[in-house]
Amino acid sequence: MSITGETTHSKLIGYCLLIFGFTGAHRFYFGKTITGTIWLCTLGLFGVGWIIDIFLMHRIAREADQRFDQGHYNYSVAWLLHTYSGFFGAHRFYLGKWITGLLYLCTGGLFGIGWIYDFYTLNSRVSEKNEASTSAWWDRFLS
């Protein structure tokens, strides 16, 4: 959990992404790329892992809160945009990546391959943007 006590990754959003549990979207959202890949390749462990994750969501969310920091860009918004409209680049527009957002819009998320790639990189991109916005604020304050 962040210093302010706020969460970075919402359990409610995790459950919303669990609708696409066969893609591992909820696992990727919480930063669990290895098990997310397993879920993606096995359709949620053939449905069994999908059901088990209903009961594990609280623990997985708590681990993500300890791993990631709060900032200007919201992880939940980025992940909802990615999962439900990532083929159109909505998450990339949200993070200010206009060129690749337009590219995704015109190519269906680079024919789906870019959409899957973003499952692996979205948390780190949000973290980078949050760090950049925090350091930019701090630099302006000190100047």
The pLDDT tens digits for 16-30 are 888 877 888 899 999
Q: How far is CA 109 from CA 7, 33, 45, in A?
A: 29, 20, 25
> What percent of the chain is predicted at pLDDT more than 70?
90
pLDDT band of residue 2 (cuts 50, 70, 90) is: very low
Residues 101 and 93 sit within 8 Å (Cβ to Cβ):
yes
What is the average per-residue pLDDT within 78-96? 93
Question: Could you give the CA distance from residue 143 to residue 137 in angstroms, rounded to a whole number?
Answer: 10
Question: Could you give the CA distance from residue 90 to residue 102 in angstroms, rounded to a whole number?
Answer: 9
Residues 51 and 60 sit within 8 Å (Cβ to Cβ):
no
70 vs 133 pLDDT, higher one: 70
pLDDT band of residue 87 (cuts 50, 70, 90) is: very high
pLDDT at 1 over 80: no
First to last CA, the chain: 30
pLDDT at 50 over 60: yes
Model pLDDT, residue 53: 92
Q: How far is CA 51 from CA 39, 48, 79, 84, 87, in A?
A: 12, 5, 21, 21, 27
Quote the mean pLDDT of the chain: 87
What is the average per-residue pLDDT within 91-115? 94
Q: pTM of this prediction? A: 0.80
pLDDT at 4 over 60: no
